[in-house]
Amino acid sequence: MSKEAPNTIEHLGRIIGIDNEKITIAIVSQSACVSCSVKGSCSVGDVEEKIVEVAHIDGRNFKTNDLVTVVLNVGMGAKAVILGYFIPFLVILFSVIIMQFLGFSEGVSGLTAIGMLVPYYAMLYFTRKKQSKTFNFRIK
């Protein structure tokens, strides 16, 4: 999190691709365990590379492998958590409750609840271009 702007999340990234409209950046996401002094004795720590695309709108010149800071508003991170975790949890929970109320077995209720995620994630997939416009990553 940035000290200058408390409403932003910042990550260091490396440019892996550039075209006229967008810049593709690889961000290394690290858990808090990575900075722990006993991380070598524990297998809990994880490091994961994530790829983000940033609109190439300003006149700055970037090159592949440049290190940049990628910034996202905190509110957008909360929206991503809601869309990716909270709503699917509610879909599963209410599906199981409704199926149980209708008298279906636990196995059928569970499988139906998981199956209900298919249309939800399909909807997210088909609206990905619209969603990408609301998640404004930018280069600092």
Count of helices and strands (H, E) across the chain: 5, 5
The answer to whether 47 and 33 have CB atoms below 8 angstroms apart is no
Q: Is the pLDDT of residue 2 over 50?
A: no
Over residues 57-91, the pLDDT tens digits come to: 666 788 888 888 888 777 777 888 899 899 999 99
- Chain CA centroid to CA 105, Å: 34
pLDDT given at position 23: 86
Which residue did the predictor score with more confidence, 33 or 9?
A: 9
pLDDT given at position 101: 95
pLDDT given at position 36: 61
The answer to whether 27 and 52 have CB atoms below 8 angstroms apart is yes
| Alpha-helical runs (H) found in 32-105 | 74-81, 87-101
- Of the pLDDT bands very low, low, confident and very high (cuts 50, 70, 90), residue 1 is very low
Over residues 27-58, the pLDDT tens digits come to: 876 655 555 655 555 555 556 778 888 877 66
Segment 111-132 shows an average pLDDT of 90
